Chain A
Amino acid sequence: MTTNRVKTGIDGLDEMLGGGFLPQTANLIEGAPGTGKTTLGMQFIYNGIVKYNEPGLIITFEEFPRQYYYDAAGLGWDFARLEKEGRLKIIMTSPEVSQKDLEDVGGIVENLVTTMGIRRILVDSMTHFERITQNQTELRAIQYGFINALKREGLTSLLTKESPALLGEAPEGDSDLAFVVDSYSILRYVEIDSAIRKAMLVLKMRGSDHAKDIRQYDIDTQTGFQLKAKFEGQEGILSGSPRRSMIDAFDEAFIK
């Protein structure tokens, strides 16, 4: 097993991932709107550039690049400067064009890998591939081809996917993509004591051990994605409406 890791540079997350993502793998982050998928992805790219000297590429299928510059600037990350320095590229395109580009010799991504030495890529979001075809088998083949092409280019990718479920588990069969990728993490809203908190769980990581606990996190306006302690004394967190564990309830009722 390789010990070489592609670190996210986010405190606590690399530990959850057994040291970081494995090189040249596709890593899916799925979550509801506002859970911080894009922020996490931007941080993966930004830290790659400034902490590990690995140029990055962001392919967006929905948000305009100017929104990334704006959001990144709010977190103190100067994406425009990094682009000028040739260490970052933010490309807006469509899944159809992106898919064909990766099949082409001398395509845009291939050229950027060669000229800029791109090592990391954020694809935001894979959900948009669903507009290419309604046929699930065909969609899976397209996604598989796309992910393999990224690996061929030697890229470690972070792929985002929208989950339709705001609270609780996503509908069954919604995450076919989870079978195709190398690692699969979910971001969820959780309601505790009449307040919404956010939870992260790494569900799958091929070829590596990873943390199994469900961790709290926040999106800090100064520092971005901040992983916190795991949920203590709660059960059924992924249902979106956890309850106190039996032991905690017993303690609360008879001991405290």
Chain B
Amino acid sequence: MKGDPNLAGQDDFTAKLMNDMPTELLDFVKTKVNSFIKWDLVRFFYENPNTVDTAENIAKYAGRHLSAVTPELEDLIAGNVMDKKIVGDQVTYSLTQDKAMRRLIETFVLACEDRHFRVKAVYHIIRNMQ
């Protein structure tokens, strides 16, 4: 299939179509929210912006397994989307206080209300998972 020039062309066309979104959002989807779990987490923290809790409880809120959520939270911390703090003997996670990042998150969540944008975001996440 790789050798089929028609399909290669189709792939290029699809990629071009899917990249048709504001640069900062494209970068956000490709580098920050590059999995469905991260998408769920970002949406949860956008809707509940002052949540401060352990990975275990956040996993419960998100309806996911702790083992799946913890590495995603760590990725989001590395990407400056979330903060990590030690409270007593508990490791807690919360949304970043960085205003620019919070604005970007809001832009992303609001953009997701558009079906075409969602399709593009899903495309990039699946590409990233492959």
Contacts and interface: CB of A to CB of B under 8 A. Distances in A.
Interface stretch (A89-97, A157-165, A200-208, A211-219): A89-97
A108 B53 CA distance: 12
A65 B87 contact: no
Interface in B37-65: 47-54, 57, 61
A114 to B, nearest CB: 15
Interface in A97-125: 97, 99-101, 103-104, 107-108
Given A100-B88, A101-B88, A103-B88, A94 B54 contact: yes
A94 B57 contact: yes
Given A94-B53, A94-B54, A97-B53, A65 B88 contact: no
B31 interface: no
Given A64-B61, A104-B87, A107-B87, A97 B48 contact: no
Contacts of A92: 48, 50-53, 61
Contacts, number: 52
B48 to A, nearest CB: 4
B48 A93 contact: no
Interface in A164-210: none
29 contacts: A64-B48, A65-B47, A65-B48, A66-B47, A66-B48, A89-B50, A90-B50, A91-B50, A91-B52, A92-B48, A92-B52, A92-B61, A93-B52, A94-B53, A94-B54, A94-B57, A96-B54, A96-B90, A97-B52, A97-B90, A97-B92, A100-B87, A100-B88, A101-B52, A101-B87, A101-B88, A104-B87, A104-B88, A108-B87
Interface of A: 64-66, 89-94, 96-97, 99-101, 103-104, 107-108
